[in-house]
Amino acid sequence: MSVTLQCPGYPEDTLRSLADRLPCREAQVSSLLSLMGQPDQYSYPSFFIYGHRATGKSHVVLTIMKDLELPHASVDCVECVSGGLLFQQVLSAFFGPNAAALLPRCPSLSDFVRLYKQMSSSTPAAQTRYIILDRAERMRDMDFSLLPALLRLQELVNDNVTVILLSEIVWEKFRPNTGCFEPLLFHFPDYSKAELVQILSRDHHPSYTPELYASYINILLGVFFSVCRDLRELRHLALLNFSKFCEPLEKGEAKESDIHKLWKNIEPHLHRAMQTVYLREVSSMQWEQQQMDEKEATTLRGLSAHAHIELPYYSKFLLIAAYLASFNPARTDRRFFLKNHGKIRKTNFLKKHEKTSNHLLGPKPFPLDRLLAIFYSVVDSRVAPTASIFSQISSLVTLQLLSQVGHDDQLDSPKYKCAVSLDFILAISRTVSFDVVRYLYDFL
């Protein structure tokens, strides 16, 4: 536990508390610190830190920055809908909001470099300045020159500045075609189970012993470790279910040492939690509510329980027709929708690739004409091609039950795909008593 971080140039006791606040990341912290060097030394121009979600990347970096009181600018790239926002945040973090205000309306990279130079010449860096870019993968969608430029910003602005990129994906996916300065790669591995226990046990409840909480965490991980290693999620779940775990203790039915009894009490509950609250089928608020007024056994209906959609009559048939058009080869339409289609053998009739199940291949696009032709033949009454039939098609598209293929400004014979599942279409066709399976080529 007491790995002492050693790094000259930083106060000893801060380093000690740092080590204490960043458990299970000692190795990463110490190598990061040694890479950073002493505050006044020039550091390596850019680092790239990657690792799965909730492996402590930003937490470690930001804690180091804050505790050691290093000048830094932390930017989340999701927020930067344009490069300008990124520049602005960096400048205002280093030189105050007045500097950021000097940026022109749509700042380019060179504007940023120019301003940075101008500012840093008046206030040169006494310590290394750090720019931390969280979710750096978003930078790839921005201006293509931005990433290479930031990687060697130190050279460009001639200042003691280091860029730290944080991402969940590997560097290979970043490298631009034209090549660029290679940052130092740095991997944060996933926490092991023991490490998770150690970290989670730290936020134990004041009114219970740490040992009890640790055993609770062990039980929790026993259930969830196989599906979820996200520290944040696990902490959330631990918090949600702890009161249930303590219930026998509160009621005096068990003592803290009766781990087995407590385990028996909580285990089914946790399994239920895995199916509901973990998948966000039930909100955490509702989950807690349910725990409060428990024993009513009112099983909350999750999100996916409300799958039924009420649709107007013709919309149902349009959807069915779209499904048929999407999953039947166009050549089989004669067989299904003409009275005198003649006998067509399945095997001889089709090309090789059509023999595989169409449901495995997914929906295929079809033109509007084919949709309407099938629609008129499946619907049981004569329908006039009214404007509302057409508007129903477009409202099905807005409801995302159909999806339009290609650009939506294609007015001349637009193409669609059906975006609903077989179960859904079976439920829909049952309400209009239409046997959809009889018309599906895959089920012949």
What are the residues binding another protein (CB under 8 A)? Answer: 53, 76, 78-79, 81-82, 84-85, 88, 103, 105-107, 232-233, 235-236, 239, 279-280, 283-286, 301, 303-304, 306-315, 384-389, 391-392, 395, 398-401
Q: How far is the CB of 115 from another protein (least distance, A)?
A: 14
Give the residue among 122, 121, 73 at the shortest CA–CA distance from 94: 73
Nearer to another protein, 33 or 420 (CB): 420
CB 237 within 8 A of CB 224: yes
Give the residue among 49, 41, 56, 12 at the shortest CA–CA distance from 125: 41
Within 10 angstroms of residue 399's Cβ, the number of other Cβ atoms is 13
CB 331 within 8 A of CB 290: no
Nearer to another protein, 356 or 391 (CB): 391
Nearer to another protein, 10 or 188 (CB): 188
Q: How far is the CB of 53 from another protein (least distance, A)?
A: 7
CB 303 within 8 A of CB 313: no
Q: How far is the CB of 168 from another protein (least distance, A)?
A: 9
Give the residue among 177, 171, 154 at the shortest CA–CA distance from 43: 154
Nearer to another protein, 1 or 106 (CB): 106
Nearer to another protein, 19 or 371 (CB): 371
Q: How far is the CB of 401 from another protein (least distance, A)?
A: 7
Structure tokens at 116: 């940075």
CB 201 within 8 A of CB 66: no
Helix H segments across 231-357? 231-251, 259-275, 284-292, 313-327, 333-337, 346-349
Nearby residues of 87 by Cβ (< 8 Å), 6 or more positions away: 100, 103, 107, 111, 112, 115
Q: How far is the CB of 338 from another protein (least distance, A)?
A: 16
Q: How far is the CB of 248 from another protein (least distance, A)?
A: 22
Nearer to another protein, 81 or 437 (CB): 81
Nearer to another protein, 141 or 155 (CB): 141
Q: How far is the CB of 117 from another protein (least distance, A)?
A: 21
- In angstroms, the CA 323 to CA 332 distance is 14
Nearer to another protein, 35 or 285 (CB): 285
Q: How far is the CB of 220 from another protein (least distance, A)?
A: 16
Q: How far is the CB of 431 from another protein (least distance, A)?
A: 12
Q: How far is the CB of 228 from another protein (least distance, A)?
A: 10
- Cα-trace Rg, the chain: 31
Nearby residues of 328 by Cβ (< 8 Å), 6 or more positions away: 336, 358, 439, 440, 441
Q: How far is the CB of 412 from another protein (least distance, A)?
A: 8
Q: Residue 156: helix, strand or coil by DSSP?
A: helix
Task: Tell me the backbone φ, ψ of residue 166, rounded to 5 degrees.
Answer: -115, 135
> Measured in whole angstroms, how far is the alpha carbon of residue 87 from the centre of its chain?
26
Nearer to another protein, 356 or 386 (CB): 386
Nearby residues of 75 by Cβ (< 8 Å), 6 or more positions away: 86, 89, 90, 131, 132, 133, 134
CA distances from 134 to 61, 230, 233, 309, 431 (A): 10, 18, 19, 40, 50
Q: How far is the CB of 420 from another protein (least distance, A)?
A: 10
Nearer to another protein, 105 or 351 (CB): 105
Within 10 angstroms of residue 91's Cβ, the number of other Cβ atoms is 23
Structure tokens at 223: 């259930």
- In angstroms, the CA 210 to CA 246 distance is 13
Nearer to another protein, 301 or 331 (CB): 301
Nearer to another protein, 286 or 377 (CB): 286
Pairing of strands 366-367, 72-76: unpaired
Structure tokens at 381: 């009454």
